[in-house]
Structure 1
């Protein structure tokens, strides 16, 4: 195991950490919420807000981990992460990393395999610790997930700054109106950033389309109305062959290209989402079955015409809501229509 070095500015860094007076304070919902958002965006079971003290790492917030409030700094992944404060430290498989392969937190039963930590930087640039996410199996993060983790780490620092500012203002300022105005401005700024993070939580990181969570909400809302409603499921034809022949990087490029073609052709007709793997879903409120079929034919042609060096087509199944039908039944009939389109030869729409 490689013990983490200490930053060249360790004394100044520790003084900056002490100024926040956050070590050994109780848990707070605001920090817990940011960890929950980080683990959801990165699709991992564990996460924490970790502060690196002189000889320990202390947890201000944690999810999916044991209840220990602190651990030894020598075994802390985060103590390595603060050594590169300008980037997110990502360890895809700790058993293959010479720094961690024999670390007790890795070798233990159910130990850490994947780690990603975004440093918590003060306005002066001192790394106090990290916002980190973890898993017990190896994995990768997509670039949008890395960016979201960095954005969330800035949120953690903003909360720390807010606590410090509030404490100092209470001690130093006599003008209560100015004090409340400053806190309000901080809170409004945090609300704006939280709104953006909420949007990311409902977005597929690879394609930029809505994800299954957003699809489920949109479908529930549409089913609550009385207007006509159709749902379509689209699947990229022979996508496994693309991955097997050209590799997953090319497969990801195909997914992004198909998503872009569908987005442009769909316009504002309804919510377009990545349903999973190479499958996409579309909620079409206000359309009857014939109108939805024509719209999906236009989507199918748009994807086929967009293909250049690597021909790509899609098959689409469409179903119209029946009286009293719930979300699961409607999606099931759209899925059956999709498989009918594939059995009929692919690159077609079955309504």
Structure 2
């Protein structure tokens, strides 16, 4: 095991870290939310916000494993902060001379894949990382790396806001204008929360709304503003034989297919519906004020457009469509669309089926 070196400006780095008064603090939802998003974006089983103290690595938030701190000598993040302007990616720790015999690799949590985006203070000091890790080897595609880097900057925004709040608490009794400071802080928090809400409802790869956002939209679409039933259809589509694309063309090509399909869905239903990534290679389309026959026609156009995508190899989709029925739950409507999708796949794929 190669122990991480300490930066040449270690004293200044530790001074910067202490200014945040965050070490050994309680869990906070804002950090937990960012770790949740990072874990989902990277597709890993574990993620954390870590801070590198003089002799230890301390976790402000960690998911997927139970630990509060590690020795700095065993820390992968200790290596990551040495190059604060880039993400450190270890695709397989057992093949890396620095980590192959590290206790967190040979023992629990048996880390194989690691990616750490440094947390850099306003004065350029690396304080720790937003990191994702997994017991299986992985690659980190460019779009996911960019998303992880963006999330690390959001962690620093939350840390700055937290420090700002502590400063206000410390001086509010001494300042006549503390009410204005609190108002400014509240405005910043509202903007930050709005940004986090947007991130938690958007799929990082395709740019489409995710399953959570679609569920909210579907609940709102089946009734009018005065509570009356509204004619609405739901379509579920699945990329045919997507596993083969990943297996034979590679995951980067699979991600390109998902991204191209996302762009097609955005253009196809712009102003006349809402498309979202439902999970994996499955997408969902919401068609308000549309009867089942018209929804079927629109989905046939979409199926043909997918087959014409200039990907260099054939890609098709199977689609199941259901009309929402008054008295049914939205979950039941989605289940009926899913059953129609299953029939389309069972009937040979590359086709549209409607729910009775």
Q: Deviations over 1:257-284 (max 9, x none)?
A: 2222222111222221223333321121
Distance 1:131 1:199, change over 3 A: same
Residue pair 1:120, 1:130 contacting (<8 A) in 2 also: yes
> 1:31 aligned to 2:31?
yes
For residues 279 and 241 of structure 2, the distance between their equivalents in structure 1, rounded to whole angstroms, comes to 15
Aligned pair count reads: 349
Structure 1: gaps of 5 or more residues: none
Offset at 1:224?
5.7
Q: Does 1:147 align with 2:119?
A: no
Q: Deviations over 1:111-139 (max 9, x none)?
A: 22332222121111011112223333333
Of 251, 254, 258, which aligns to 1:248? 251
TM-score by length of 1: 0.86
What stretches of structure 2 of length at least 5 have no aligned partner? none
Conservation of the 8 A alpha-carbon contact between 1:266 and 1:299: no
SS at match of 1:221: helix
Counterpart check, 1:6 vs 2:6: yes
TM-score (norm 2): 0.85
Match of 2:303 in 1: 300
Q: Is the 8 A contact 2:4 2:79 kept in 1?
A: yes
Contact persistence 2:257–2:311 (CA under 8 A)? no
List aligned pairs for 1:83-232, cutoff 5 A.
Answer: 83-168=82-167, 170-171=170-171, 174-177=174-177, 179-223=178-222, 226-232=229-235
**Cα shift at 1:16:** 1.8
**Alpha-carbon distance in structure 2 between the residues aligned to 1:22 and 1:198:** 24
Note closer, same or farther for the CA distance 1:244–1:122 as it changes in structure 2 (3 Å cut): closer
Alignment deviations for residues 58-96 of structure 1 (CA, whole Å, 9 cap, x no partner): 23333343354x321100111111111012222233222
Per the alignment, in what secondary structure is the counterpart of residue 162 of structure 1?
Answer: helix
Three-state SS of the structure 2 residue aligned to 1:129 is strand
CA contact (8 A) 1:232 1:318 kept: yes
Cα distance in 2 for partners of 1:152, 1:59 equals 16
C-alpha RMSD over aligned residues: 2.9
Kindly state the Cα deviation for residue 168 of structure 1 after the two structures are TM-superposed: 4.7
